Structure 1
Amino acid sequence: MNRLFDTSLDVNLRQFYILVICGCLGNFFGFLGNAVIYGFGSGTVFCGTCALLIILSSFYGIHFGHTKRASYFMILLLTFIEFPLLYYIYHTNTIVYMVLSISSIAIFIPAAHAVILAVLAVFCDVFVVFFSYYHPAPWAVITEQEGFYSTICSLVISLFCVFMVTLLLKVQYEKQATDLRAMGEQLKNAADHDALTTLYNRRYLNGYLEQLIQQKHADFYAVLLDLDFFKKINDTYGHVFGDEVLVAFSQILEKYLPDNGIAVRFGGEEFMLILPDTTEDDIRRLLQSMRSEYKQFIKMKKNAMYSFSSGVAQYQTGMEISALYSLVDGKLYRAKNDNRDKDVF
Structure 2
Amino acid sequence: MKSFLLSILLFLLLSCNQQTKAQTEKAIIKSSEINSLKNEQEVEHFIRKSDSLYRKFTLKKVQDLTCIGCDSSLVSLANRLNVDYTYIKADFDNNGYMDILATGENKTYTSENFNPDLDVAYSKSFNAFVIMDFGEGKTKLYDLTEEIYRGIVPMVEYQDDKALLIVYTPKYETKVVRNKRKGVKSELIFKFSDFVEYNPLPKAYSIEKIEYNTEGCFGQCPIFSMEINKNGTSVFIAKEYNYTKPWQKGELLEGVYSATIKKENLSELTEVLNYIDFPSLQDHYNVIWTDDQTAVLKVTYNNGKVKTIKDYGLQGTYGMRKLHEMFFNLRTNQNWE
Structure showing greater Rg: 1
Shorter-normalised TM-score: what interval?
A: under 0.3
Output the TM-score relative to the length of structure 2: 0.20
The one of the two structures with greater contact order (alpha-carbon pairs below 8 A, sep at least 6) is 1
More helix by proportion, 1 or 2?
Answer: 1
